[in-house]
Amino acid sequence: MVILIDPSAVETVTGEGKVRRARTVTVQRSITADGPKQPGYVSTINDYDCLKWRSRWRAFSVYSRFGGLVLHKDNDDPDWAPIEGNFEAQAAARIACDGRGSDSVYTASSIGQLVTTLIQAWDAAEPLPPLQPVAPLPAAKKKPAPSRP
């Protein structure tokens, strides 16, 4: 999993103290828990309370490797959760609240290009099995021609 955040896109939420809003993009080797490996990414809008060190998600969207929307959900629950102990929230909050970088920096002309490059790198490291030969379908039996009187 790779978490992406654009520090220049972090917003200050007015009237909420020191709250920042940021979109994170989490690129995952598989977006499904069961079944075959399905690379993709999750785009989440999060709020970070930088004084009380807590976060909440506002909405998220799950996308296939090709950018097709798989699922979207808005959060109706306004409750906050502690950032401590949540790896993803800690990494993003350091950038959103303090402008501090995290452990790795990736650059690209867009987040879309970066997502595509990451998934392609994973594909190269673990290629999918080759296409399996498929036996042709049996030929359809011809109907006898209607007899003529």
Max intra-chain CA distance, the chain: 95
pLDDT value, residue 140: 66
Q: How far is CA 20 from CA 11, 25, 59, 78, in A?
A: 6, 16, 15, 15
Per-residue pLDDT of the chain (149 residues; tens, 9 = 90+): 788 888 888 899 988 789 999 998 888 888 877 767 788 899 999 999 999 999 999 999 999 888 889 899 999 998 999 999 998 888 889 889 987 765 566 667 777 778 888 888 877 777 655 555 656 667 767 666 676 66
* DSSP 8-class letter at 24: E
DSSP 27-80: EES-S-SSSS---EEEEEEEEEETTTTEEEEEEEEEEETTS-EEEEEE------
Cα(17)–Cα(126) distance, integer angstroms: 46
pLDDT value, residue 66: 83
Confirm if 115 and 27 have CB atoms less than 8 A apart. Answer: yes
pLDDT value, residue 67: 85
pLDDT value, residue 134: 57
Which domains does the chain carry? 2-125 (2.40.128)
pLDDT value, residue 45: 95
pLDDT value, residue 137: 62
Strands 19-28 and 2-5: antiparallel
Q: Report which of 38, 30, 22, 27 is spatially closest to residue 116, judged by C-alpha positions.
A: 27
pTM given for the model: 0.72
Burial of 116 (0-12, 13-18, 19+ CB in 10 A): middle
